Amino acid sequence: MNVTGVVVEYNPFHNGHKLHINETKQITDADLIVAIMSGNFLQRGEPALISKWARTKMALNQGVDIVLELPYVYATQHAELFANGAISILNGFGANSVCFGSESGDIKDFHRLIKFINENETTYRESIRDALKKGVSYPKALSFAFKKLKNHNQVLDLSLPNNILGYQYVKAIYEQKANIKPFTIKRKEAQYHDKEIPKQSIASATSIRKKLVKEQDHLNSINHVVPSTTYDELVQYRKMYHNFQDWERLFPYLKYKVLTSSPIALANIYEAEEGLENRLSQTINEATSFQSLMEKIKTKRYTWTRLQRFCLHTLTNSTKEEMSAINDTTPYIRVLGMNQKGRKYINNQKKYLELPLISTISKINHPFINIEKRATSCYSLGYSPIIQAKLIKEEYAHPPVII
């Protein structure tokens, strides 16, 4: 059976994602689509609009056969660790291929880039270190270092976000010696950071979230850019939970955490570097919202995303010691949902898996699971006590979604 993986967040699932799945099936000749999906918190250090269970339903209703969770410790990381975690799950699950969207759209570009970087490894790493010493952000340091390499303009443009992530997927496949063939499709129409809903049927997830949360628009303003099953799930979710989750709803709890933590405790938070924890504690009282806090702590050295991730790890109390256990291989595979075809594959495959396959987290004891539980408890904040209890109980007891 030809099993193809996609690495996703689906925040929320929209028509662009549907197009990705359809084209993935076509170019990989996939018999089964497996989505490696981030949980309740995402790579940019922000809460998902809706829970992982609702997003799993959206995926299964639109052509995904199995949804596996990318654990918090990988899902909330920079591109390299994010990709390492996702590829290790796909490799451990027996996937034959992975397909990702990119600005390039040509997988040969990524193989050429891997070879080019390897040939210039020493110079590249030295240039990165030099750029970081000058106080620029890590992504900019990578970009500066890359542009200093001779003939860099003859290979893939690494200044574009999806090319960067795609490069890390392919790099992880090489480094893990994974038996996975990479494919890529060119991103079409809406770009990652587009903020307005277009008239056509494909919009960025950023613009959709803005409509649903920041502008508090009615749901019908996005119904032409999402599948009907996504629209129905969003309607049902708002009816049940009353609101979609975002950082502003979690900000009071972050503020409380910072104000009641000692300097030593904050310094031990993962990604607390170069006095970043002091900057956070010195400005938290002046901030009246999460947006204003971010504007106050933003510097040229740190990207918005990097700062959001630090705030998130502070909220969830994820420490350097806990997160130091991260490596290239995930310790378990957690199933969030499946359809009947996916269920049949899992029943046939699970006896061959080298990693534990779990359906509920009560069945395994691991430090990453403890972080996952804590993250979900923090995700539930901002809702009513009844809904908080429901979300926390789901983390422990929710069986895989079956469509």
Annotated binding site for ATP: 7-20, 101, 162, 187
Pairing of strands 66-70, 97-102: unpaired
Pick from 331, 329, 246, 341: which is nearest to 32 by CA?
Answer: 341
Tell me the residue type at 183. F
Residue stretches of the annotated binding site: 7-20, 101, 162, 187
Pick from 140, 172, 122, 101: which is nearest to 306 by CA?
Answer: 140
Joined tokens for residue 24: 């993935």
Pick from 182, 205, 179: which is nearest to 100 by CA?
Answer: 182
Tell me the residue type at 309. R
Joined tokens for residue 167: 């490069």
Compute CA distances 237 → 116, 136, 186, 372, whole Å.
47, 41, 32, 22
User: Please, which residues have CB within 8 angstroms of residue 116's CB and are 6 or more apart in sequence?
Assistant: 149, 151, 152, 155
Q: Report the C-alpha gap between 76 and 258 in whole angstroms.
A: 20
First to last CA, the chain: 21
Residues written for the chain: 403
